[in-house]
Amino acid sequence: MNLDQNQVVRTHNPDLEGLIKLSELDKIIGQLTDVIQCEIPGHIKALEDDFVRDQTKLRKFDEEMAALTKRKKSLEAEVDDTKSKIAKANQKLPEVKTNVEYRAIMKETENFKQRITTIEDEQLALMEKMEDKEGERPAIEKQVAEDKAKLDKLKAEKTVELNSYNESLDKANAERASIIGAINPAILATYDKVRAQRAGTGLARVKDGSCMACFQIITPQLYYQIRTTDEIYRCPHCDRFLYHVPEPKPDNGEPAKGKRKKQE
Ligand SMILES: [Zn+2]
- CATH code of the domain containing 32: 1.10.287.1490
Q: How does pLDDT run across 87-135, given as a tens digit for each residue?
A: 999 998 888 899 999 999 999 999 999 999 999 999 999 999 999 999 9
Band of residue 3 on the pLDDT scale cut at 50, 70, 90: very low
Q: Which residue, of 136, 165, 183, is where some domain finishes? A: 183
Burial class (CB in 10 A: 0-12, 13-18, 19+), 21: buried
The neighbour count for residue 202, using CB atoms within 10 Å, is 26
pLDDT at 246 > cutoff 90:
no
State pLDDT tens for residues 33-69.
999 999 999 999 999 999 999 999 999 999 999 999 9
How many domains, the chain?
Answer: 2
Distance from Cα 171 to the centre of ligand 1, integer Å: 30
Q: What is the pLDDT of residue 200?
A: 84
User: Per-residue pLDDT for 253 more than 90?
Assistant: no
Range(s) of the domain holding residue 88 = 13-183
Same domain, 220 and 124: no
Contact 203, 191 (CB under 8 A): yes
Going by C-alpha positions, the residue among 131, 142, 148, 138 that lies closest to residue 72 is: 131
Residue 142: inside a domain: yes
> What per-residue confidence (pLDDT) applies to 199?
82
Q: How many angstroms separate the alpha carbon of residue 215 from the centre of ligand 1?
A: 6
Q: Is the pLDDT of residue 164 over 50?
A: yes
Calculate how far, in angstroms, residue 202's C-alpha sits from the geometric centre of ligand 1: 10
Same domain, 133 and 231: no
